[in-house]
Amino acid sequence: MKGNFVYHNPTKLYFGENALAYLADELKQYGPTVQLCYGSGSIKRNGIYDTIIDILHKAGKTVVEDAGVMPNPTIEKLYEGAQMARQHNVDLILAVGGGSTIDYAKGVSCSAWCDEDPWQKYYLQQQEASCKVIPIGAVLTMVGTGSEMNGGSVITNRKEGLKIGKVFGSYAFPKFTILNPTFTFTVPQYQMVAGFFDIMSHIMEQYFQGDGDYTTDYIAEGLMRSLIHASRIAVKEPHNYEARANIMWTATWALNTLLKCGKGGDWMVHMIGQAIGAHTDATHGMTLAAVSLPYYRFVKQFGMHKFVRFATNVWNVNTEGKTPEEIADEGINALQKWMQEIGVVLNAAELGVTNNNIEAIADSTLIFDSGYHKMTRDEIIQILKQTIQ
């Protein structure tokens, strides 16, 4: 493990069935006005909304409701939320929902007092915030993104066909996050398994990079094994508390900046998946699932040693008498079998990808040079073509 890094994560986590009881104490640290961000209303149907509103009112807070955060938050919604926060001079943004809601809240927190266009400044130019940043807290109801303990914020500009993530500094991390596994029980199966694969993708994209001996790779292997085991239980028993709790905890550690310490990552699956989402508005985790198998089968030739390790340490592939390529292929085949078992989308045609929009998706894909191979536009097009075969 080489190189220099700084590790700092300021988010306080409250985990367990009684985690929400700590919200009242956290609220004491902030001013009187709270912007409550949530999605289409599922938290009203399952009762979480009423419980949180009661806690906010008992704490003497004025609540500014910011509803309607969509699964792929748009730049128009970001502008709306930022204007709301500035108009009401809010003291805390409380995001209740999944990763999209928390991503959105971070964008709002850094945009409300920004005198520049946040799309240009943060997402296109990847600059840091130089204005007042509103603190945020989170109550997580769907696992997958890890947004509850990082600075990531992904926003979609549908007019430009772009879906771009900005990883803000620790100043934009949630100050606290409530993690109650039972809050995830009512998530529909399709969204649940999409979240499971999002977790897996986060780990793999930090794992498949580097040639050294990294402590974090050993941690990543353990997280993947835990996720695989628990997900198999959860798809059959969605209310199995232990399985859902382990998955929630794995999701947080998959992308809270720990696994990248001392190394980079290969984020091209996310870049291609996000481009698909920008053009189709498809569920994020499913876009990653549709892209992953053809992508990893292509890049394994450039990082064969790591794919052999993946097959051996994650999937327990028997290596006796086999070539490295045979071992690597068995590992990817085991990944595919698990994906089929939990029920994620493997054909991007189901998500709206066609021969007619493949080139536009490729043009919207940001290309990074941090993995085992820097992709070309033509290679991305070939990967996309394989996703709809």
Query: How would you classify the pairing of strands 152-157 and 136-140?
Result: unpaired
Contacts of 354 (CB under 8 A, 6+ apart): 388
| Residue 182 structure tokens | 């039972």
Crossing angle for the helix pair 324-342 and 304-313, to the nearest 10 degrees: 50
**What tens-digit pLDDT sequence spans the chain (389 residues)?**
777 888 899 999 999 999 999 999 999 999 999 999 999 889 999 999 999 999 999 999 999 999 999 999 999 999 999 999 999 999 999 999 999 999 999 999 999 999 999 999 999 999 999 999 999 999 999 999 999 999 999 999 999 999 999 999 999 999 999 999 999 999 999 999 999 999 999 999 999 999 899 999 999 999 999 999 999 999 999 999 999 999 999 999 999 999 999 888 999 999 999 999 999 999 999 999 999 999 999 999 999 999 999 999 999 999 999 999 999 999 999 999 999 999 999 999 999 999 999 999 999 999 999 899 999 999 999 999 999 99
- The pTM score is 0.96
| Residue 271 structure tokens | 């870049």
Q: Is 62 exposed, middle or buried (0-12, 13-18, 19+ CB in 10 A)?
A: middle
